[in-house]
């Protein structure tokens, strides 16, 4: 997924805001929605594009499960319920990111039991400019749908915040 992570994170975060009866924590949801892709820096600057960036630990759900459990446990033991809510926003959108990447990118959902990464659909290499292969693939419609949905939610929120 290229451009759909932030809109998808916005959709999930605004849903969580309603569930938690808050207008806060959107920042944490948006940050989590793109956070796994910070490995792109390593991919280009250090690894010299030797490995698919989805193979780095930051795109492996197993590690996120551990980080989530430890983080939530620490916040719970310290009775930092505001931090727990922020963490729920952050980690929910991290996992959403991984789910969305599974559409056409390989994610190791069954690690540590197997290194085999899975994707729901394959994107054939048709164009020499690799990004076109994804943009012109039918699954890109999911990204467009996420953008439209997020824009509708944003406009509704903007409209109600001016009248309420």
Q: Is residue 123 part of a domain?
A: yes
Q: Is residue 113 part of a domain?
A: yes
Q: Is residue 96 part of a domain?
A: yes
* Phi/psi of residue 118, nearest 5 degrees: -125, 150
Q: Count of domains in the chain? A: 1
Chain center to CA of 97: 2
pLDDT category at 53 given cuts 50, 70, 90 is: confident
The distance between the two most distant Cα atoms of the chain, rounded to a whole number of Å, is 53
Answer yes or no: are the C-beta atoms of 118 and 109 closer than 8 Å: yes
Distance CA 42, CA 5 (A): 19
pLDDT tens sequence across 8-47: 999 999 999 999 999 999 999 999 999 999 998 988 888 8
Enclosing domain of residue 83: 5-150
Distance CA 66, CA 95 (A): 12
pLDDT category at 164 given cuts 50, 70, 90 is: low
pLDDT tens sequence across 66-119: 999 999 999 999 999 999 999 999 999 999 999 999 999 999 999 999 999 999
Q: Is residue 67 part of a domain?
A: yes
Q: Is residue 41 part of a domain?
A: yes
pLDDT for position 75:
98
pLDDT tens sequence across 83-96: 999 999 999 999 99
pLDDT for position 136:
97
Q: Is residue 159 part of a domain?
A: no
């Amino acid at each position: 997924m290229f451009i759909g992570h932030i809109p998808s994170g916005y959709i999930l975060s605004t849903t969580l805001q309603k569930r938690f009866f808050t207008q806060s924590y959107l920042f944490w949801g948006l940050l989590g929605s793109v956070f796994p892709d910070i490995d792109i820096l390593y991919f280009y600057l250090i690894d010299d594009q030797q490995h698919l960036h989805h193979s780095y630990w930051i795109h492996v759900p197993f590690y996120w499960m551990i980080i989530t459990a430890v983080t939530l446990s620490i916040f719970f033991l310290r009775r930092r319920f505001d931090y727990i809510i922020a963490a729920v926003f952050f980690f929910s959108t991290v996992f959403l990111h991984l789910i969305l990447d599974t559409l056409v990118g390989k994610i190791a959902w069954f690690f540590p039991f197997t290194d085999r990464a899975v994707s729901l659909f394959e994107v054939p290499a048709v164009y020499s400019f690799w990004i076109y292969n994804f943009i012109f693939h039918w699954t890109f419609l999911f990204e467009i749908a996420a953008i439209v949905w997020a824009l509708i939610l944003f406009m509704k929120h903007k409209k109600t915040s001016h009248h309420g």
